[in-house]
Amino acid sequence: MSYKGYQFYDDDQNFQKYLERRNWAENANDTIEKPIFLELLSDVKGHSILDLGCGTAAFGLDLLDLGAYSYTGVEGSANMVEESKKIMNRTNGKVVHTSMEDWNSPEASYQLIISRLAIHYLPEIDEVFSKVHRSLAHGGSFIFSVEHPVMTSSFGIARPEGMKQDWVVDNYFHSGIREQEWLGGKAIKYHRTIEDYFHALRKAGFAIESLRESKPRAEQFHNAETYERRMRIPLFLFFKGTKPVSTNKRL
């Protein structure tokens, strides 16, 4: 089997560090990524939802609490799937242990498909985006976040230890593999430009409804310094695409 991005989380040390980081006060996921994701979701009541690269599926619990009809997570890492059971056991949601590449759903089986910070682990996105399109009901939405291309572009370029004081954007138009030193391990991720994501969505047949760049909101922060730091550079990129009600692919 060729290397898959989720294997990073099956290293126990990386996995523990990841869980610790997600519990940091004012971590970027909770202060910027999640609030924007929730804005893009709008009303999920009664929706059947699929979450690609769902991690611990903590978000599944939120979605079910918000009134979603069903929640299914797809997750490649055995450690994440094990952790998700602690959360999903209390719900009627479920997590399937498989990769996004191998996952398949019947046509038009979800009103909403989401993916939070997982798609940049995929070497190819066209086929996954086509499967997402096929699995969505007409009028359904695909919402995803990824690490922002100004960040992923320079993964792999050596930088000083410690908290960054400035950022490098380099090799921006060289889309492709990057090896990032992260949480003491090496994560394999894939850099794509904003245009790459935009064209992949259009090619799969989506009408693009929204694009966001993780601009922080002061009210999400107790610490003014962290807020000012988040104002310096975008960490995340978000898209919302809709499967048109008409079956015509060209929009």
Ligand X SMILES: C[S@@+](CC[C@H](N)C(=O)[O-])C[C@H]1O[C@@H](n2cnc3c(N)ncnc32)[C@H](O)[C@@H]1O
Sheet holding 48-52, edge to edge: 94-97, 70-75, 48-52, 110-116, 136-147, 236-242, 207-212
| 192's tokens | 């794509």
Place of tokens 């694009």: 211
Q: Under the criterion CB under 6 A, does residue 54 sit at the interface with ligand X?
A: yes
Place of tokens 């903590």: 58
The neighbouring-strand residues paired with 105 are none
Q: Under the criterion CB under 6 A, does residue 93 sit at the interface with ligand X?
A: no
Amino acid at 170: D
Can you tell me which of 100, 125, 136, 146 binds ligand X, judged by CB under 6 A? 100
Tell me how many residues contact ligand X (CB under 6 A).
Answer: 20
The neighbouring-strand residues paired with 242 are 141, 207
Residue (5 or 234) nearer to ligand X, CB: 5
**Nearest approach, Cβ of residue 73 and ligand X (Å):** 8
Maximum alpha-carbon separation in the chain: 52
Residue (4 or 212) nearer to ligand X, CB: 4
Residue (80 or 150) nearer to ligand X, CB: 80
**Nearest approach, Cβ of residue 129 and ligand X (Å):** 13
Can you tell me which of 32, 50, 112, 117 binds ligand X, judged by CB under 6 A? 117
**Nearest approach, Cβ of residue 216 and ligand X (Å):** 17
Q: Under the criterion CB under 6 A, does residue 146 sit at the interface with ligand X?
A: no
* Near ligand X in 2-21, by CB under 6 A: 4-6, 9
Classify the phi-psi angles of 206: left when phi > 0, otherwise alpha if psi is within -120 to 50, otherwise beta.
Answer: beta
d(CA 227, CA 62): 25
Residue (179 or 228) nearer to ligand X, CB: 179
Q: Which stretch binds ligand X (CB under 6 A): 82-90, 116-124, 188-196, 200-208?
A: 116-124
Q: Are 74 and 60 in contact (CB under 8 A)?
A: no
Can you tell me which of 50, 122, 183, 201 binds ligand X, judged by CB under 6 A? 122
Residue (104 or 248) nearer to ligand X, CB: 104
Give CA separation, 13 vs 86, 137, 150, in Å: 20, 40, 27
Residue (78 or 207) nearer to ligand X, CB: 78
Q: Under the criterion CB under 6 A, does residue 80 sit at the interface with ligand X?
A: yes
Place of tokens 């979701």: 41
Place of tokens 């996105």: 125
- Positions touching ligand X (CB under 6 A) are 4-6, 9, 53-55, 74-77, 80, 99-101, 116-118, 121-122
